[in-house]
Amino acid sequence: MQETPRKVFLVGLTTSQANLTYELEELGNLARANNLDPVETFTQKLERPNPATYFGKGKVEEISAAVTTYDVDMIVANDELTPSQIRNLEKATNATVVDRTGLILDIFAQRAQTKVAQLQVQLARLQYQLPRLRTSMSITLDQQTGAGGGGFTSRGAGETKLEQSRRRITAQMVHIRQELADLEKGETTRSAQRQNNDLPNVALVGYTNAGKSTLMNRLLARFGIGASNDDSKQVFEKDMLFATLNTTVRQLTLPDKKQFLLSDTVGFVSKLPHSLVAAFKSTLQEAASADLLLHVVDVSDPHYQDMMTTTNKTLQEIGVSGRPTITVYNKADRTELVFPEVTGENAITISALDIASQDALIDLIKQHVFKDVAVVNLHIPFDKGNIQAQLAAKHTFLQEDYDDTGTLITVELSTNERETFKDYIV
Ligand SMILES: Nc1nc2c(ncn2[C@@H]2O[C@H](COP(=O)(O)OP(=O)(O)OP(=O)(O)O)[C@@H](O)[C@H]2O)c(=O)[nH]1
Ligand SMILES: [Mg+2]
């Protein structure tokens, strides 16, 4: 059963580049996803954060007073704070201070389903926790990760105890890295096998909650193996932040037998902690090696442009750049926009829930990933029936005829396939 949400303050700074309205709305969503209830927001305009207390002195006093008035015991900060900023703010306000990074790590920890995701998140948390052992948040983290055994509850705890915790965490990190390396070896093999498969690889990427998994499921229901009869191939979709943490790859077969692989990936949010970005780099290999990215955008969100910028920045950070991309403006059913509508070579407005939209998107994907196909004529001797079967499994023949020695086939082949079957091309 869900406990009553804990009341918190959201606090943030307007620095020169920040879009604080967008970031605070996002922070509120992150807080709510952690069962926190933001009751008030405090902001201040500063060139850069105060190195000691994040806010200036006056603001800290204002917040301290409000902590008493509102009877709030937790403050959520919009940036990643330094360990000493957290400690000083906690001392001044008498409340627990959590930063954006801590919140995101907690959500990921709750959502992680697979062994790899769990280890990656745990590693990221320990890395975050290590320099923060003397903040009150680390006590909660301790209990959750079992890292420090929930050992010290007062800030005056002895250096030895602190040293012990540090050592334990470091040892745990070494262990997890080893376990991950072992697990990833298996994953690399699988991914290499897929590459041999020769099928174009299309990856769904985008901001969290944009509708990536929904789109994947709708397309799978129609074009997946076994199609709608097979629910086990469906991925998890839900109206929540970070519903998906691990990458799923599925094969789609279109009515004309053209095939491609579609992968669903973790969603992004601004200021995604570096430790998590690093941790999920390997999970995001599918996106990095994709022939085509579908950048899914929730166009019904007033902040969708900021979300697009966030996604592009994150992709760059994980080393995915210069990939051919289609921007998919999704959830148009919640707006006044016309859909489905192709708006240029690389953009389309759709609703993932709408069949006509799915078809229009598939057409656009085909134009991109099968653009190297060409019509060829093949002559296959009668004793090479296996070659003909191989082709028939993947293609609808445009024409089929016979002569004395074999079958004459007209079919669309990709560059790779034209190479494979070059002996039969006439
Ligand atoms: N109205 C409407 N809702 C949609 C559409 N696409 C997705 N949704 C809803 O949006 C919510 C989030 O969808 P998901 O598919 O889980 O989003 P995601 O991009 O996979 O999110 P993460 O896994 O968190 O990154 C769900 O409640 C969906 O039903 C759409 O085209 N129209
Ligand atoms: Mg998802």
Q: What is the pLDDT of residues 394-425, one digit of tens each?
A: 888 999 999 999 999 999 998 888 999 999 99
**Residue 266 CA: which ligand is closest?**
1
Ligand 1 contact, 414 CB (< 6 A):
no
Residue 2: the pLDDT is: 64
Compute the distance from residue 239 Cα to the ligand 1 centre, in Å. Answer: 6
Query: What is the Cα 397 distance to its own chain's centre?
Result: 39
Residue of 208, 212, 237 to mutate, ligand 1, most atoms within 8 A of C-beta: 237
Q: What percent of the chain has pLDDT over 90?
A: 54
Residue 189: the pLDDT is: 59
210 is in an annotated binding site: yes
Q: Tokens for 233?
A: 């191939």
Give 325's contacts (C-beta < 8 A, 6+ positions apart). 292, 293, 294, 295, 346
pLDDT at 153 over 70: no
Q: Tokens for 82?
A: 């330094």
This model's pTM is above 0.95: no
Between the alpha carbon of residue 282 and those of residues 116, 119, 276, 277, the distances in Å are 10, 13, 11, 10
Give 39's contacts (C-beta < 8 A, 6+ positions apart). 7, 8, 9, 70, 72
Residue 422: the pLDDT is: 94
pLDDT at 356 over 90: yes
Reported as a pLDDT band with limits 50, 70 and 90, residue 158 is: low
pLDDT at 18 over 70: no
- Interhelix angle 20-33/100-111, rounded to 10 degrees, is 40
- Interface ipTM above 0.90: yes
**Residue from 339, 342, 368, 370 nearest 356 by CA:** 339
As a whole number, the mean pLDDT across the chain is: 87
For 9, phi and psi rounded to 5 degrees?
-100, 145
186 is in an annotated binding site: no
Residue 327: the pLDDT is: 98
Residue 287: the pLDDT is: 80
